[in-house]
Amino acid sequence: MSAQLETSQQLSDLLKQHRKATDEQGVVDVDTRKRRLQTAIDLLVDHHEELCAAIDKDFGGRHTGFSLMNDILGSLGSLKHARDNLEQWVGSESRQVFSPYDQMGAQAWVQYKPKGTVGIMGTWNAPLFTLFSPLASVLSAGNRAVLKPSEVVPHTAQVLAKIVAECFDPLDVAVITGGVEVSQAFAGMPFDHLVFTGSTEVGKKIMRAAADNLVPVTLELGGKSPVIISETADVREAARRLAIAKGMNGGQLCISPDRIYVPVAAQDEFVSAFCETYSALYPTVEDNPDFTAVVNVQHLARVAGYVAQAQEEGAEVVRCPDVPVPAVGRKHPLSIVINPPLLSDIMQQEIFGPALVLLTYSDVKHVVQEINQGERPLALYYFGEDEAEQNYVLNHTLSGGVTLNDALMHAAMEEAPFGGVGASGMGHYHGRDGFLEFSHARTVFKSAPVDPRGEWGMLPPFSEHFTPGLITQVTR
């Protein structure tokens, strides 16, 4: 079989071979798991230049420094953390046996078994991270994997397919490339678990397709991550940190700040401080290698359309840096859209690009109510020094994760789960939580040599004392 996969028939044949290899292998020992993780680490270290160049080409402008930080180092962080900690995760755990069997020598434990083969569908915005970070958890749990890179970044997908085929045994990790039809076929394959990173809309289709084979899914989806700037916040510092976060990848991050709630009195100070930082980071746009382009014309038109519609409907738009929108190319200055109408697209759709919404408020409880009227977001950010208010926000909202007094940071925690809730997804990866996500927790009960049930009158034919005896145990 060719190591590079392009058709669903090839994938189907490979999955049969994976299943046979899994059944024959039995235990996947720590050394095997570490070897697979190390292969992924070596692959990224050896080929980072080629991979970053491919990402730059696909985006039509993405700085190598950002690709190194986000995709190479981000993935290496997850892989090394798994390699260096999995020994503490893999062992069986003994569990307390119920009475009176505990007294008779019965034993019980939970084994964390590899599920088998996990399909991982990545997205274009973080084309390596969304494949390799879940892969770290998948391999630490002893699974095999097939990766499906996004067709929106075809050069990256091709380079990745080539180097994975060179470095990995396809029975450990393989890549399949192709467009939406291949993704559709992929989602309908009988994997033992499927990880999908992408939009909420496509996530629903993935779950429907996976249901046909009862394949469990981890869905890493998007949403409109809100930011609350408290009256107690240092507004200038909050604006500075948010400008840094929003500039990352040209706003094309799943946890990018999407709408920012600012106290009415702080609006001007916030906008001016935000633009000051953003314009210092990106004094120019069109010719600026530090500025990440929007990935393609469709996404550019989508984001520009949101901004134009809101402006037509009366919203104020501030651009930073304050330069004209270039006629050509896909690098546009950031648009801050102030108080757009509730039903405008920019208020309803995830922005995922160089724009954000600024909403002024006078009561933080109304802000929480408004957030709760929408779908559960992937991230939530709160800036402020009032601990009671901070706890109010934490206690009355639900989101995939939270960063306080900054943005994006919680997602970099290898020791803590990363994932969404509700419309922003289900399941998670990173660390021990990721290991558990891709393991089957199998309970094993080992019986005691003696079986006292007959002697105790617990077996038919039941004596006249059997039911009254049980009734005495129906207690609170």
Binding stretches for ligand NAD (CB under 6 A):
123-126, 130, 150-152, 180, 183-184, 187, 197-199, 202, 205-206, 220-222, 254, 350, 352, 378, 420, 425
Strands of the 107-114 sheet, one edge to the other: 93-94, 107-114, 439-446
Q: Which is nearer to ligand NAD, 340 or 353 (CB)?
A: 353
Closest CA to 317 of 308, 330, 325: 308
Write the CB contacts of 319 (distance below 8 Å, at least 6 apart in sequence). Answer: 325, 333, 334, 335, 336
Q: Which is nearer to ligand NAD, 230 or 256 (CB)?
A: 256
CB of 22 to ligand NAD, least distance (A): 25
CB of 88 to ligand NAD, least distance (A): 26
Give residue number: closest CB to ligand NAD.
222
Dihedral sign computed on CA atoms, order 255, 256, 258, 262: positive
What is the DSSP secondary structure assignment for residue 429, as one 8-state letter?
B
CB of 95 to ligand NAD, least distance (A): 33
What is the rounded distance in angstroms from the CA atom of residue 64 to the CA atom of residue 289?
A: 9
DSSP E strands in 93-191: the ranges are 93-94, 107-114, 117-121, 144-148, 173-176
* Burial tier of 6 (Cβ tally within 10 Å: 0-12, 13-18, 19+): middle
What is the rounded distance in angstroms from the CA atom of residue 69 to the CA atom of residue 81?
A: 16
Q: Which is nearer to ligand NAD, 114 or 400 (CB)?
A: 400
CB of 336 to ligand NAD, least distance (A): 20
CB of 337 to ligand NAD, least distance (A): 19
Q: Which is nearer to ligand NAD, 179 or 326 (CB)?
A: 179
If phi > 0 it is left, if psi is from -120 to 50 it is alpha, else beta; for residue 431 that is left
Active-site residue list: 220, 254
Q: What is the DSSP string of 127-149?
A: TTHHHHHHHHHHHHTT-EEEEE-
Number of residues assigned to the chain: 476
